[in-house]
Structure 1
Amino acid sequence: MLKLALTGGGGFLGWHVRVLLRALGWPEPVIITRADLADPRVVGAKVSGVDRVLHLAGVNRGDPAEVAEGNLRLAAQLAAGLRVAADPPACVVYANSVQAGNGTPYGDAKADAARILADTGMPLEDVLLSNLYGEHGRPHYNSAVATFCRVLAEGGRPEVHTDREIALVHVTDAAARLVGVPAGGSWDPTMPALRLGVRELAERLAGLAATYRTGEIPVLTDRHLVRLFNTYRSHCFPAHFPLALPRRADVRGELVETVKVHGGAGQTFSSTSHPGVTRGEHFHLAKVERFVVLRGTAEISLRRVGDTDVVRFPVSGDAPVAVDMPTMWVHKLVNTGDDELVTLFWTNELFDPACPDTWPEPVESRIPKPAVVAA
């Protein structure tokens, strides 16, 4: 268990690093803001005594000269703080790019930033990262995956102007590499890449979206398909939920299609819960999970890891609906009625006690804020 300090802790990669640390049960990292970086003494105080400093802050978009200047400045400011630290960190880890030194203003600035950090004399891990994708990426900024997912979630169709092959790495894998943890059930620090063309990427995401639009689960035959699907789902939540389920009725009674999976099975199980009983209070990093209340009344509540707002869905067995748990959202199910609650659960993978991908955390934040209520 290491003590870490981060620059760029509020960004896409920084958020995923913090989520991974929550799952590992490590201490909250020390966050070095851009305002902090302007004062070497503040930086020096914050990095003193930590095991690793992860330099994630950077500038990726904008005028080429401003992008280059921003990356050099951030590295120089961190280096100045490292030099005055009373108890210097054991290691500095730099989230560099595979484009480093490629002759572009951005690539050359990333390479020069690595040299600035190396010149402090502290051990440096210079980690070259490919195109990162994952949950809650910023459209039109972090990756084409985020842009395509947002367009599809809003009912549009992605446009591909230039087709080329890209290498995609899921951001949790990159976080594991930067933090320095061995492979786990939900992450792989070797950062296995998905290589495909931009047009193929758009078509693959469009296929996932088309199947899921009716509440059906698309083909999820490998880890990148699961993670692309989870990324798409992050752009659908909470606006697209709960999902209406097909219902059939005849003289015998009713039938509800709770889960329809294309090209796979997963695991289905059910539970009963007495009045007032709570189930859940955890989050998943990769697992796809569906809740369907079949009898009784309940409230499903969710909170994104690191946030305080809680999304709440009142559900009833009188009109069964599906609520799929987005990855990296803490969730729970509470029996709010006076009778026994019967709930069906489905996950895309068989439960593995050795790697359950279930990380405990309460939904209700310690910092109260008004709840967001979903109809």
Structure 2
Amino acid sequence: MNILITGAHGFIARNLIHVLQSKELSFLQPLKLYTYDRRDAIEDLKEYLTDCDFIIHLAGVNRPQKAQEYEEGNKGFTQFICDELIQHRNTCPILMTSSIQAVLDNDYGRSKRAAENCLRSLWQKNGNKIYLYRLPNVYGKWCRPDYNSVVATWCYHLARNQDIQIHDEQKEITLCYIDDVITEILNCLQGKATVADESDFYKVEPTTRCRLSELRNILYSFKNEQQNLTLPNQTAFVKKLYATYLSYLPQENLSYSLTMHQDARGSFTEMFHMDTYGQVSVNVLHPGIVKGNHWHMSKNEKYVVVAGEGNVKLRNLYDDDHKLLTYHLSANKMEVVDIPPGYLHCIENTGTQDMVVIIWANEVFDETYPDTYYKEV
């Protein structure tokens, strides 16, 4: 399949092109990509339009210096594509990303509606199958900040400890994630486009409706996670926002130090805190060292040895015989030992090198209620 992508240097196109170049998509093989941006030669575009099997029309103007550029960049450029296809009798399908603002009576909205109508006319005259998507606010990696995306703008500034501006906290916006847009485009290429409820439009799913104040609060919660180690609750929406926020971190801020609590036995380091999923820590034991010798009322844990070897020992306080359970763990054969509440437990390094244990606990450690009761196993 020969695919032409317009607006090739734009946000959506960059993501799409990398996916198409990186994935072995059997339904597209062999694949040839034609890419066009306004900085490229128009003669190249004319050549592509004679040979392409599918057009993904992502080009458009949304922040011009003059209002007339809306008409030229949206309707005018789309009409040029349609005229070339008709001239060369190319009946390939064409997907165009329009905007939810096409319903508005302003220069931008009118120009996007006019571009949509150009494609409808193409379908009637030339038989090209058309896929019209009125996209809401799209967010994700590589979106240009301080341009037309509030998510990109706020993520960029918060990641640099700069203030963000909000004029109407109650204003609601509809958002969709770049990966979901790319997935829908791939579905469309396979003839599996998602039909919208109205007219001849198609849609990207899912979308999220939220107030600007809610969006701001979520993004602010990411700001100090490197200091307090708290990872966000991974709802579907927050997961996508968090991935987006991380993509705007300055490169010098991609790494950060953890606090190691060291003594003669080794070290203990908290890695991540998760409000609803507990915490992850790293426990290092020198050879011959035993740690633990305690039990919990409700807290439960999972142990995995990732370096060295040793024993995890448990006794169920409820059993009258207090039977000793011993599990030998080694990095050569990784396995998990569950530590239920009500079990005395300890871990011992039986090897000749440091033993490194990854520990997940179902709750973040609370100094006011540690739920830890010491007793020899």
Shorter-normalised TM range: 0.5 to 0.7
Q: Is the 8 A contact 1:167 1:194 kept in 2?
A: yes
1:147 matched to which residue of 2?
153
Structure 2 CA distance, aligned partners of 1:12 and 1:345? 40
1:14 matched to which residue of 2?
13
2:258 matched to which residue of 1?
245
Whether 1:47 aligns to 2:46 is: no
Counterparts in 2 of 1:130-141, with a 5 A limit?
A: 130-141=136-147
Q: Is the 8 A contact 2:93 2:130 kept in 1?
A: yes
Which amino acid in structure 1 is aligned with residue 10 of structure 2? G
Whether 1:201 aligns to 2:205 is: no
How far the C-alpha of 1:50 sits from its partner, in A, is 3.0
2:75 matched to which residue of 1?
72
Which amino acid in structure 2 is aligned with residue 123 of structure 1? K
Q: TM-score, normalised by structure 2?
A: 0.63
SS in 2 for 1:259: strand
SS in 2 for 1:90: coil
Q: Which moved more, 1:157-166 or 1:108-117?
A: 157-166
Q: Is the 8 A contact 1:127 1:178 kept in 2?
A: no
Q: Is the 8 A contact 2:270 2:279 kept in 1?
A: no
169, 182, 199: which one pairs with 2:176? 169
Q: Is the 8 A contact 1:20 1:176 kept in 2?
A: no
Structure 1 CA distance, aligned partners of 2:357 and 2:70? 51
How large is the Cα RMSD of the aligned pairs? 3.3
Q: Deviations over 1:242-269 (max 9, x none)?
A: 2211211112122222333332369999
Which amino acid in structure 1 is aligned with residue 9 of structure 2? G
How far the C-alpha of 1:89 sits from its partner, in A, is 5.0
How far the C-alpha of 1:24 sits from its partner, in A, is 3.5
Structure 2 CA distance, aligned partners of 1:3 and 1:344? 49
Structure 2 CA distance, aligned partners of 1:9 and 1:118? 23
SS in 1 for 2:271: coil
Counterparts in 2 of 1:306-317, with a 5 A limit?
A: none
1:34 matched to which residue of 2?
38
SS in 2 for 1:141: coil
1:81 matched to which residue of 2?
84
Counterparts in 2 of 1:260-271, with a 5 A limit?
A: 260-264=273-277
Gaps of 5+ in 2: 26-30, 194-202, 283-305, 308-355, 361-377
Provide the identity percentage: 25
2:242 matched to which residue of 1?
229
Counterparts in 2 of 1:47 and 1:137: CA distance versus 1, 3 Å: same
How far the C-alpha of 1:31 sits from its partner, in A, is 0.3
Structure 1 CA distance, aligned partners of 2:219 and 2:164? 9
1:104 matched to which residue of 2?
106
Counterparts in 2 of 1:35 and 1:254: CA distance versus 1, 3 Å: closer
How far the C-alpha of 1:38 sits from its partner, in A, is 3.4
Q: Deviations over 1:270-303 (max 9, x none)?
A: xxxxxxxxxxxxxxxxxxxxxxxx98xxxxxxxx
54, 62, 83: which one pairs with 1:60? 62
Which amino acid in structure 2 is aligned with residue 21 of structure 1? L
1:94 matched to which residue of 2?
96
Q: Is the 8 A contact 1:139 1:147 kept in 2?
A: yes
Counterparts in 2 of 1:84 and 1:139: CA distance versus 1, 3 Å: same
Which amino acid in structure 2 is aligned with residue 19 of structure 1? H
SS in 2 for 1:231: helix
Which amino acid in structure 1 is aligned with residue 102 of structure 2? A
Structure 2 CA distance, aligned partners of 1:70 and 1:48? 21
Counterparts in 2 of 1:178 and 1:250: CA distance versus 1, 3 Å: same
Q: Radius of gyration: which is bigger?
A: 2
SS in 1 for 2:97: strand
How far the C-alpha of 1:36 sits from its partner, in A, is 4.7
Structure 2 CA distance, aligned partners of 1:267 and 1:223? 21
2:314 matched to which residue of 1?
none
Structure 2 CA distance, aligned partners of 1:265 and 1:16? 34
